[in-house]
Amino acid sequence: MNTLIQTHPNKWLLLVGPRSIRSTMMILIARLAERDAVHVLDSGGQFDGYLISRSLRGRTDFLKRVSLSRTFTCYQVLASLENAVGLPAPLIVLDFLHTFYDESISFAERRRLLERCIPHLERLSKPAGGAVSIHLPAVPSPEADTLFAILKEAAPEIWIQEIPVQVPQPARLF
The order of strands in the sheet holding 38-42 is 66-70, 38-42, 91-94, 130-134, 12-16, 157-160
Does the pLDDT of residue 46 top 70, yes or no?
yes
**Helix, strand or coil for residue 66?**
strand
- pLDDT tens figures, 69-102: 999 999 999 999 999 887 788 999 999 999 999 9
pLDDT at 113: 98
* Residues 27, 3: Cα–Cα separation, whole Å: 7
- pLDDT tens figures, 137-174: 888 899 999 999 999 999 999 998 876 556 666 777 66
Confidence of residue 49 (pLDDT cuts 50, 70, 90): confident
Confidence of residue 123 (pLDDT cuts 50, 70, 90): very high
Residue ranges and CATH numbers for the domains of the chain are 23-128+146-160 (3.40.50.300)
pLDDT at 108: 97
pLDDT at 2: 43
Q: Please state, for a pLDDT cut of 70, what percent of the chain lies above it.
A: 92
Does the pLDDT of residue 132 top 70, yes or no?
yes
Please answer whether residues 128 and 88 qualify as being in contact, where contact means their C-beta atoms are separated by less than 8 angstroms. yes
Mean pLDDT estimate for the chain: 89
Does the pLDDT of residue 4 top 80, yes or no?
no
For residue 50, the tally of other CB atoms under 10 A from its CB is 8
Does the pLDDT of residue 3 top 60, yes or no?
no
Spatial CA neighbour of 11 closest among 132, 111, 171: 132
**Helix, strand or coil for residue 11?**
strand
Separation of first and last alpha carbons in the chain: 34
Please answer whether residues 36 and 89 qualify as being in contact, where contact means their C-beta atoms are separated by less than 8 angstroms. yes
Range among 54-58, 76-80, 134-138 rated most confident? 76-80
Computed on alpha carbons and rounded to an integer, the radius of gyration of the chain in Å comes to: 17
Please answer whether residues 133 and 28 qualify as being in contact, where contact means their C-beta atoms are separated by less than 8 angstroms. no
Backbone angles phi, psi at 88, to 5 degrees: -75, 55
